């Protein structure tokens, strides 16, 4: 063993720059190398004190952290960084396209670590730590759906890895465990709830968290369940907690379940529960670099979540990178596998091992333009983007001012796809504003908004606003079962396999569909929250109300020859719940405004000099330009 340790130390010294030799894994040509044995890796579980007693049993809650790490670095006197995925899904639902669960041997030692992170990164000198959030799998406590318990249970493990928390060899106590093998540098990663927790932990400013990679993640839980007062089709936090909590937690966590139910009223009010779960509000504390990944057609974790998080992070000065796909709620491992693994590898090497590989100086944004076709930008929103006010007139985007009025009646049976299909046909449930066919490509990059002055006929009303690209296209089938991907029967391997933990995963391919129109940005409101999100009120029929609908972040090119359209309607079936009544709504366009993030500003929106014969036209389109980000957040 002594000879092996000496050999490994010499090898590491030959491969790693002297400044990082004491802490980094072996590096050659700017890339960490797979020189360590995966099959001989140390597999252990440590239970970490959280300082909480969420289940009220009089004992401090402990969370289970399953660890896999190469055995050789410690023998060679090297400390290593950690890749951590904290999740509620390790026993109930699984992770990845194949829904992998954690598995254990007869003595309770971890065998299968879901996803490829362990297979790929452990041989390269990283530890992988998978944490069961409180109330799930083998952890104590109660699930609180993004609240202090969720965040603290993951933060406690970061603290333990940095010597600030106590770890134990058993759930009931055992002996104290100290991570003498860890160098204190932690990167958190995960999709959906997992990535959401990474956002929440970063927003605590915890020392030692060097980077996060939130994939399809929530930045404010209100915006998962509500949209400016309108209830979304997402169930309730109490339902979600019940779905993931361990069997033992079900009976002891009834008080937490009641708290979740009471704090998330169907009314859509902005309660203290939501405020507690708004990580954007604490963005100033973020010190970690952030690599955001999101599907622009994600109708589970809607894109407002990445957009507001990304925009808020700009004020912190932390390094940022972003990938935006045309998929729904899908991991990049399943739509751009090889490029993703290489990019993530470089990202972790730089921010966790200190490798000077230049990734922080490369393109900031990768955007999928068509299935498997990507472009890159030096920043995001794209350089040259300007918030531009575009005028609204009945039937058209354009003119020299906003004028006229339009009316429609809420029809809860209709949705955004039906509206888009009927864009050129008058129907009573919507109003459409469209340009003539564009003379050149038009790119929208970022978040827009539409301010509407609306008079309802009843005491309650919901509004939907969607941006549509009117024209034929081949897109990812984000509405399909795979949300834009097909799972194949072949497998490819990413790292080293071990007994009970394969590194080989089912391959995927793009699932595409032909469409005549593409909805690419959306927003929904409850008009009863026109004055404040804190408390909705009954509307007075016949009274005009003004409210701004936030159009969620996107990056889309409307090609030359296509038309850009804004649809305004009531209930977007399948995405928001209908109001208590079925109002007719009249929109005063002279007191309304559309603001779009146009690359090149309003001058980039070129239309023919004469209106087209096959659709709504305009002879000119004027707009005044506003500073980027001028639209209100809420």
How crowded is residue 583: how many other Cβ atoms within 10 Å of its Cβ? 24
E strand or H helix at 544? none
97 in helix, strand or coil? coil
Q: How do 385-390 and 623-626 pair as beta strands?
A: antiparallel
Strand partners, 465: 523, 568
Tokens 């399809």, residue located = 216
| CA 538 vs CA 180, 192, 306, 459, 478: distances in Å | 60, 35, 32, 5, 36
Catalytic residue among 185, 192, 435, 521: 192
- The C-alpha atoms of residue 390 and residue 596 are separated, in whole angstroms, by 7
- The C-alpha atoms of residue 594 and residue 321 are separated, in whole angstroms, by 29
Tokens 């109300």, residue located = 545
Q: What is the dihedral of CA 450, 455, 459, 460, to 10 degrees?
A: -20
Nearest to 489 by CA among 472, 464, 506: 506
DSSP 612: -
Phi-psi group of 192: left, alpha or beta (phi > 0 → left; psi -120 to 50 → alpha; rest → beta): left
CB 274 within 8 A of CB 221: yes
148-161 vs 193-202: helix axis angle to the nearest 10? 70
436 in helix, strand or coil? coil
Q: How far is CA 545 from the centre of its chain?
A: 32
| CA 582 vs CA 139, 146, 405, 571: distances in Å | 47, 34, 20, 9
Q: Where do runs of H (alpha helix) occur along 485-593?
A: none
DSSP 438: P
How crowded is residue 584: how many other Cβ atoms within 10 Å of its Cβ? 16
Catalytic residue among 194, 298, 501, 577: 298
Q: How do 504-510 and 563-569 pair as beta strands?
A: unpaired
For residue 350, how many C-alpha atoms fall within 13 Å in the half-sphere facing its CB?
20
Catalytic residue among 153, 319, 329, 529: 329
- Residue 615: exposed, middle, or buried by beta-carbon count in 10 A (0-12, 13-18, 19+)? middle
Strand partners, 95: 100
Query: Does the annotation count 168 as an active-site position?
Result: no
Paired tokens of 74: 């410690």
E strand or H helix at 324? strand 320-325
CB 75 within 8 A of CB 12: no
CB 238 within 8 A of CB 255: no
Paired tokens of 514: 């032909």
Nearest to 407 by CA among 432, 424, 425, 436: 432
Query: Does the annotation count 298 as an active-site position?
Result: yes
- The C-alpha atoms of residue 56 and residue 566 are separated, in whole angstroms, by 51
422 in helix, strand or coil? coil
14 in helix, strand or coil? helix
Query: Does the annotation count 562 as an active-site position?
Result: no
Catalytic residues: 192, 298, 329
């Amino acid at each position: 063993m002594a000879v092996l340790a000496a050999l490994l130390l010499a090898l590491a010294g030959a491969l790693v720059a002297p400044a990082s030799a004491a802490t980094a894994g072996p590096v050659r040509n700017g890339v960490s190398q797979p020189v360590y044995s995966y099959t001989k890796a140390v597999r252990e579980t440590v239970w970490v004190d959280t300082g909480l007693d969420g289940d009220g049993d009089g004992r401090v809650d402990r969370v289970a952290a399953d660890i896999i790490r190469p055995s050789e670095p410690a023998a060679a006197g090297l400390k290593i960084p950690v890749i951590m995925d904290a999740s509620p899904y390790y026993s109930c639902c699984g992770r990845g396209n194949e829904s992998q669960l954690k598995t254990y041997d007869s003595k309770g030692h971890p065998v299968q670590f879901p996803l490829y992170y362990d297979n790929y990164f452990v041989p390269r000198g990283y530890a992988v730590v998978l944490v069961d959030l409180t109330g799930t799998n083998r952890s104590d406590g109660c699930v609180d759906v993004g609240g202090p318990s969720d965040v603290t249970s993951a933060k406690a493990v970061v603290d333990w890895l940095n010597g600030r928390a106590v770890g134990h060899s058993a759930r009931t106590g055992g002996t104290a465990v100290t991570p003498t093998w860890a160098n204190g540098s932690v990167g958190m990663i995960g999709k959906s709830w997992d990535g959401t927790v990474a956002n929440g932990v970063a927003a605590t400013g915890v020392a030692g968290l060097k980077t996060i990679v939130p994939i399809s993640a929530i930045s404010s839980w209100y915006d998962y369940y509500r949209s400016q007062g309108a209830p979304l089709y997402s169930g309730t936090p109490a339902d979600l907690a019940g779905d993931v909590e361990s069997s033992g937690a079900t009976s002891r966590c009834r008080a937490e379940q009641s708290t979740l139910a009471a704090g998330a009223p169907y009314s859509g009010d902005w309660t203290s529960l939501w405020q507690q779960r708004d990580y954007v509000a604490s963005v100033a504390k973020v010190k970690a670099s952030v690599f955001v990944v999101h599907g622009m057609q994600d109708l589970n974790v809607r894109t407002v979540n990445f957009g507001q998080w990304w925009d808020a992070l700009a004020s912190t000065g932390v390094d940022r990178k972003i990938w935006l796909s045309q998929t729904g709620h899908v991991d990049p491992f399943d739509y751009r596998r090889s490029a993703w693994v290489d990019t993530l590898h470089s990202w972790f090497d730089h921010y966790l091992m200190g490798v000077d590989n230049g990734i922080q100086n490369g393109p900031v944004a990768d955007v999928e333009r068509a299935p498997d076709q990507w472009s890159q930008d030096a920043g995001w929103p794209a350089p040259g983007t300007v918030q531009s006010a575009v005028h609204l007139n009945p039937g058209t985007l354009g003119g020299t001012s906003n004028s006229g009025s339009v009316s429609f009646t809420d029809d809860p049976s209709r949705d955004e796809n039906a509206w888009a299909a009927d864009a050129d046909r008058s129907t009573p449930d919507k109003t459409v504003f469209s340009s003539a066919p564009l003379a050149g490509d038009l790119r929208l990059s970022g978040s827009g908004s539409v301010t509407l002055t609306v008079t309802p006929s009843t005491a309650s009303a919901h509004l939907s606003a969607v941006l549509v690209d009117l024209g034929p296209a081949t897109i990812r089938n984000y509405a399909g079962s795979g949300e834009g991907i097909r799972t194949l029967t072949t497998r490819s391997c990413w790292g080293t396999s071990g007994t009970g933990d394969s590194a080989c995963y089912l391959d995927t391919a793009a699932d595409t569909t032909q469409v005549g129109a593409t909805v690419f940005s959306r927003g929904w409101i409850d008009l009863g929250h026109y004055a404040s999100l804190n408390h909705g009120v009954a509307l007075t029929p016949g009274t005009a109300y003004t409210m701004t609908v936030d159009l969620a972040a996107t990056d889309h090119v409307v090609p030359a020859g296509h038309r850009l359209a804004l649809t305004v309607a009531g209930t977007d079936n399948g995405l928001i719940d209908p109001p208590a009544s079925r109002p007719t709504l009249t929109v005063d366009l002279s007191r309304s405004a559309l603001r779009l993030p146009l690359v090149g500003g309003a001058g980039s929106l070129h239309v023919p000099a004469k209106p087209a014969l096959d659709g709504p036209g305009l002879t000119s389109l004027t707009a005044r330009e506003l500073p980027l980000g001028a639209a209100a957040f809420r």
